[in-house]
Amino acid sequence: MSEFHIAVVAGDGIGPEVTEQAIAVLNKVGELFHHAFHFNKVLAGGCAIDATGKCLPEETLEECKKADSVLLGAVGGPKWDNVAGDQRPERALLGLREKLGLYANLRPAIIHKALADACPLKPEITGDSLDILIVRELTGGIYFGEKGYREGKYGQEAFDIEAYSEMEVKRIAKTAFEVAMQRNKKVTSVDKANVLESSRFWRKTVIEVAKEYPEVELTHMYVDNAAMQLIRNPKQFDVIVTSNIFGDILSDEASMITGSIGLLPSASLGQTGAGMYEPIHGSAPDIAGQDIANPVAAILSTAMMLKYSFKLDKEADAIEKAVTSVLEAGYRTPDIMSEGMKEVGTKEMGNLILHFLS
């Protein structure tokens, strides 16, 4: 029997409700496939501020570092809106990413056949399903480059510098090629190499890394074209790898194509194999504590954990299939409810997924 230690940062708002369902699913996977998942619940975000005065207590960081992976719900809420900038609940996420060395953010954009109607694009564009994975560099580029104010040609000006080292591009490209090997073996590297020197360097370095993955088909696309192609013909993409700023924008665009924020998981990975897995949505304070939040994004985050950190592909597929079966059977939480479907709450949705898990 294999054992895995998971640090659980349930956080605020709907975070605890959706992670509870995700934990139940992992426990069931453990029973079915003979693995032991051990959960260590730790505080971060607003609840940590209330309990300790800090959004990311040292103890939480230490427990997350020791764990085989981290499962995160969501942090933040109006109660902590007036807390000083460096102690805001959301700072806990940046702290965790930085201290755990998580430089790769993986965001799938998936349209489930049963929810094809929620996609804002015409059916002939997406067909009845879509499955894209965006690999975004998370700890470098313009968001972390030199910044400041200076005297320019027209008076005072502000600047932010986009810079990428060979090491940073190589490691994110490697992540993209590795995950592409577990999928359809196609990588599109998105840059702005017609204008930016940093993008030309990005492209050259990605081409170097590609030589280690002869089975993977590599193409390049300018970011403006990629933004259009995601709307015009999203099915051409499998894995998209791109810089921090381009990935920030393109992953939001891609998630909108799928039509529901409550369904999309994400992963942040580093060098060690351990990662942090979380739904893309926030703490949804408007619906917290009402048993109506959609737990699917949190549950699918556990599938990503099994696949990318623990290499348990069969088990990950079982979770994804159970979610698909529940949606195909017509069960919907209020956020994805449509006429003729059966409305269920957070707990019932979780129980149905457990029921279909085999």
Rama region for 85: left / alpha / beta (φ>0; ψ in -120 to 50; rest) = alpha
Query: Rounded to the nearest whole angstrom, what is the least distance from the CB of residue 271 to ligand NAD in the complex?
Result: 22
Closest CA to 320 of 341, 336, 297: 297
> Could you tell me if 267 and 108 are in contact, meaning their C-beta atoms sit under 8 angstroms apart?
no
Q: How far is the CB of 336 from ligand NAD (least distance, A)?
A: 8
d(CA 347, CA 14): 12
**Smaller CB distance to ligand NAD: residue 96 or 223?**
96
Q: Tell me how far apart the alpha carbons of residues 358 and 353 are, in angstroms, rounded to a whole number.
A: 10
Q: Strands across the sheet with 275-279, in order? A: 35-41, 2-11, 69-74, 275-279, 265-269, 104-111, 130-137, 239-242, 186-191, 217-222
Tell me how far, at minimum, the Cβ of 80 lies from ligand NAD, in Å: 8
Q: Which is nearer to ligand NAD, 188 or 260 (CB)?
A: 260
In angstroms, what is the minimal distance from the CB of 84 to ligand NAD?
A: 15
Residue 111 zone, left/alpha/beta (φ > 0; ψ -120 to 50; rest) = beta
**b/e per residue, 260-278, with b = 16+ CB within 10 A?**
bbbbbbbbbbbeeebbbbb
Q: Which of 131, 248, 291, 335 is catalytic?
A: 248
- Smallest gap from residue 186 Cβ to ligand NAD (A): 28
Q: Report how far apart, in Å, the C-alpha atoms of 12 and of each of 44, 47, 79, 260, 332 are.
A: 9, 6, 10, 21, 23
Residues 35-54 as b or e (16 or more Cβ within 10 Å = b):
bebeeeebbbbbbbbeeeeb
Q: Which is nearer to ligand NAD, 134 or 293 (CB)?
A: 293
Q: Can you say how many angstroms the Cα of residue 356 is from the centroid of all Cα atoms in its chain?
A: 24
81 tagged catalytic: no
CB-nearer residue toward ligand NAD: 14 or 312: 14
Output 30 or 262, the one with its CB closest to ligand NAD: 262
- What is the C-alpha to C-alpha distance for residues 341 and 332, in angstroms, rounded to an integer? 7
Instruction: Report in angstroms how near the CB of residue 285 gets to ligand NAD at its nearest.
Output: 6
Q: Please say whether the beta carbons of 71 and 38 come within 8 A.
A: no
Per-residue burial over 58-80, b = 16 or more CB atoms within 10 Å of its CB, e = otherwise: eebbebbeebbbbbbbbbbbeeb
From the candidates 81, 224, 313, 317, give the one annotated as an active-site residue. 224
How far is Cα 302 from Cα 306, in angstroms, rounded to an integer? 6
Residues of this chain that bind ligand NAD (CB under 6 A): 14, 18, 74-77, 90, 93, 261-262, 278, 281-287, 293-294, 297, 335
Quick check: is 224 catalytic? Answer: yes
Distance CA 157, CA 38 (A): 52
- Which residue's CB is nearer to ligand NAD, number 93 or number 172? 93
Decide if 238 is catalytic.
no
- DSSP class per residue in 228-251: HHHHH-GGG-SEEEE-HHHHHHHH
Name which of 181 and 354 has its Cβ closer to ligand NAD: 354
CB of 29 to ligand NAD, least distance (A): 21
Active-site residue among 143, 186, 321, 335?
143
Catalytic residue among 81, 252, 286, 317, which?
252
| Residues annotated as catalytic (active site), given as ranges | 143, 192, 224, 248, 252
